[in-house]
Amino acid sequence: MLDSNRQWRLVSYPEGMPSESDWEMSESPIPEPGDGEMLVRAIYLDVAPYMRARISPQKNYAAGVGPGDVMLGGAIGEVVHSNIPAYKPGDFVVSDTTFGWQDFAVLSPSVVRRIDTDIAPLPCWLDFMGLNGLTAYIGLVDAGQIKPGDTVLISAAAGSVGQIAGQIAKLAGCRAIAVTSSEEKIARCRELGYDAGINYRTEPDLAAAVARVCPEGVDVFFDNTAGPIHDAVLQNLAMHSRIIVCGTVSLADRFGQPNIGPRFMREILFSRARIQGFLVSDYQHRSQEARTRLASWHRSGNLKFQYDIADGLENTPNAFLRVLTSKNLGKQLVRVGEDRQGSI
């Protein structure tokens, strides 16, 4: 048992791409839970692209982190002490967004979910059983309205959301196209069932590459990146296409700069396309169905997963930067405590 609480705090708002020096580690006493609270020890910390917007003074949909604050983020942990009858020491819980980059956190029941390891191993609760799975499922089924025969193109396809989304698209009878940053990642996407892949770092003309792989146009574009990939797809839309804007990780080094697009208004008009900004938090009423379907696919072997694990709290900022620079393959997590389940 640790005798202090190590924490990563933001030093200053990054200008451009963040660097490890934008955070510093500090130590504080292990906090004590009050009435109706529990003390949780972290096992796995989440690092995800959306966290880039948290360390900017710009307006954002997620709670911001200011200089001097503990960096916010999700975690899987074990209850150490509880003042809540429904939770006992040894219970596993997941906090999707509010745990923070630290060893311990005091949490209330409103910000945690109980983990059932009979349904899925611990890390899966920050992946397909967590916000990433809900984002992929609800984004495609509700916002994207996928149907058999659709061509579905997914950017950041080798990341957590992208890997899940591609498999869901195939289960729905769609043609799934991966856009990612290396041949290794394309190979992984093909293993998961993707029909074709585009390496955006080696294609001299992205719009031409999309046209080559999607000759009938793109019916559903699950956009995790924005930027040049977004522009290339908008030049290759099928009639009545649906564009789901889920993330903007390609802009990680350009926060605070003016937005330029969208620039392909004639293509949007001609194809009668629909562009929708998508936040899974708007669809909480759909989470139970989504988790039930995702768990069922996992049990039947139709939903596979892959993790990129960094060990040690000290490596958390570096793991986050790996995500922002597309170096991770699968869901990036940081293991900071003992996983007694032996999940990975």
pLDDT digits 0-9 by tens, 221-235: 999 988 889 999 999
Amino acid at 305: F
β-pair type (307-311, 75-82): unpaired
* Structural domain spans, the chain: 5-125+306-335, 131-281
β-pair type (274-277, 151-155): unpaired
Q: How far apart are CA 105 and CA 107, in angstroms?
A: 6
Residue 79 neighbours by CB under 8 Å, 6+ apart: 38, 39, 40, 87, 88, 89, 90, 91, 92, 93
pLDDT digits (tens, 9 = 90+) for 125-140: 999 999 999 999 999 9
Could you tell me which of 94, 168, 103 has the C-alpha nearest to residue 131? 94
Q: How far apart are CA 4 and CA 151, in angstroms?
A: 52
pLDDT digits (tens, 9 = 90+) for 285-344: 999 999 999 999 999 999 998 899 999 999 999 999 999 998 998 899 999 998 887 666
Residue 296 neighbours by CB under 8 Å, 6+ apart: none
What string of pLDDT tens digits covers the 344 residues of the chain? 688 999 999 999 998 889 999 999 999 999 999 999 999 999 999 999 889 888 888 777 766 899 999 999 999 999 999 999 999 999 999 999 999 999 999 999 999 999 999 999 999 999 999 999 999 999 999 999 999 999 999 999 999 999 999 999 999 999 999 999 999 999 999 999 999 999 999 999 999 999 999 999 999 999 998 888 999 999 999 999 999 998 887 766 666 666 666 678 888 888 999 999 999 989 999 999 999 999 999 999 999 988 999 999 999 999 999 999 989 988 999 999 988 876 66
CB atoms within 10 A of CB 39: 21
Q: Which fold has domain 5-125+306-335?
A: Quinone Oxidoreductase; Chain A, domain 1 (3.90.180)
Does domain 131-281 sit in CATH 3.30.1540.20?
A: no
Residue 260 neighbours by CB under 8 Å, 6+ apart: none
